[in-house]
Amino acid sequence: MSLLIVLAALAFLMFVAYRGYSVILFAPIAALGAVLLTDPALVAPMFTGLFMDKMVGFLKLYFPVFLLGAVFGKLIEISGFSKSIVAATIRVVGAQRAMLSIVLVCALLTYGGVSLFVVVFAVYPFAAELFRQSDIPKRLIPGTIALGAFTFTMDALPGTPQIQNIIPAPFFGTTSWAAPVLGTLGGIFILIVGMIYLESRRRRAARNGEGYGDNLLNEPVAFAGEKLAHPLIAILPLLLVGVANFLLTRWIPGFYGETQSFVPSVIGSPAPIVQEVSKIAAIWAVQGALLIGIVCVFVFAWRNVMASFAEGSKNAISGSLLASMNTASEYGFGAVIAALPGFLAVATALKAIPNPLVNEAVSVTALAGITGSASGGMSIALAAMADSFIANANAAGIPMEVLHRVASMASGGMDTLPHNGAVITLLAVTGLSHRQSYKDIFAITLIKTTSVFVIIGLFYLTGWV
């Protein structure tokens, strides 16, 4: 019964998300409904002590990233930089390769360390412009961005700085460069198969005479300036964000040290506030990089930006609030579900899978799917099962690097179910619904999940690491 309760809560939340209802309202209803059916006395304590605690904790860490990312994306739009980049892209690669262009831009940003959520805000303006000029249906934008930002550069390619590639390292004693051959081959598989799928969708739409679409929501504002910026200047803010994030990630810990403390200047004798820099350095780096990108846009497009900055910034702030609250609600839901007996039953049952690598892959992707979070599901799986994964791998002669890569890639598989925070953010930013665009996101999810078993098969066939 406890297992059925967890599955029912998950199915309910996926259903309402797909139907277009707000997860800000229904995530706590689904989570607390599951608690009510498990132990009614825990509803209030779970809501305040766990759901709200995790939700507010997420906002504390990530709302500034959402806000700055939304403002940066809006500035790229109203400055005309997005239109300039699109015009140059069409000249270089042609209108028929618009999807590949967006995938590669997303990949460069995420591999450069830019947060997945920031990439959505930053890339959407010129993705919309490029798709409109190429007459590709807007409904294909979420699947295209998902392929570029949520797949191979998130956790497959060796060295990617995304958190999904960092979490396994302390459990297995590895680094972010673990299993470079398998990771690279897995990334190539995802890119090739994903592009084949997206291009087939584009060609089918073209045969049916379907264009970009009409009466769409959250459309970027048309550039009203007289002259577009040079493409190299237009792309400079995006490059600066990636480079600055890379450098600040390394400089901040060295500048502040392990911890930084200060005493508030208030009446009385307050205790010093201590900040563990290691836990926040990556987020500070992203915030600093976005500020640099924003300043760069102002420097090179002051007149165009100021003409519509007041109204544009309001829209950006509203979008960032909605996106961050959606994701935070999902984060709270995942925390509550992970604390229920039914979730433990799932984790225990998964241990029965005999093959060590398949056991790890299925366990991680299943728990990521249930919690709606790649990093959250993987953290729970490794905290509970890492010792058994390691023991089974040692018995089978499997290197720890392979365990790292399989766990990392599996986390980004079934996590992107309809209730996933990144999926809901992506659809909210693009102004599309699950009904319009989730089919393509789910197809990319299936390709991503398949890639994990492809690299497992390659390891057993070749012994490559």
The model's pTM? 0.85
* Band (266; pLDDT cuts 50, 70, 90): low
Q: Identify the pLDDT of residue 224.
A: 67
Q: Identify the pLDDT of residue 117.
A: 84
Q: State yes or no: pLDDT of 55 exceeds 70.
A: yes
CA 42 to chain centre: 31
CA 232 to chain centre: 27
What is the spatial distance between Cα 68 and Cα 76, in angstroms, rounded to a whole number?
12
Q: State yes or no: pLDDT of 263 exceeds 90.
A: no
| Closest C-alpha to 100, from 53, 160, 145 | 145
Q: Identify the pLDDT of residue 236.
A: 93
Dihedral angle, C-alpha 27, 29, 30, 36, nearest 10 °: 140
| Closest C-alpha to 217, from 149, 145, 315, 136 | 315
What is the spatial distance between Cα 191 and Cα 149, in angstroms, rounded to a whole number?
11
* Band (178; pLDDT cuts 50, 70, 90): very high
What is the spatial distance between Cα 379 and Cα 284, in angstroms, rounded to a whole number?
22
Tens-place pLDDT, residues 228-258: 899 999 999 988 988 888 888 889 989 998 8
Q: State yes or no: pLDDT of 376 exceeds 90.
A: no
Asked if residues 372 and 419 have their Cβ atoms less than 8 Å apart, the reply is yes
Helix (H) and strand (E) counts in the chain: 20, 2
Asked if residues 197 and 443 have their Cβ atoms less than 8 Å apart, the reply is yes
Average pLDDT, integer, range 271-289 = 86
Q: Which residues have a Cβ under 8 Å from the Cβ of 313 and sit 6 or more positions away?
A: 71, 74
Average pLDDT, integer, range 75-96 = 84
Tens-place pLDDT, residues 26-54: 999 999 999 999 999 999 999 999 999 99
Look at the alpha carbons of 247, 253, 256, 262 in this order and tell me if their dihedral is positive or negative.
Answer: positive
Q: Which residues have a Cβ under 8 Å from the Cβ of 275 and sit 6 or more positions away?
A: 259, 260, 261
From residue 186, how far is each of 199, 441, 449 by CA, in Å?
A: 20, 18, 10
Q: State yes or no: pLDDT of 421 exceeds 80.
A: yes
Q: State yes or no: pLDDT of 112 exceeds 80.
A: no
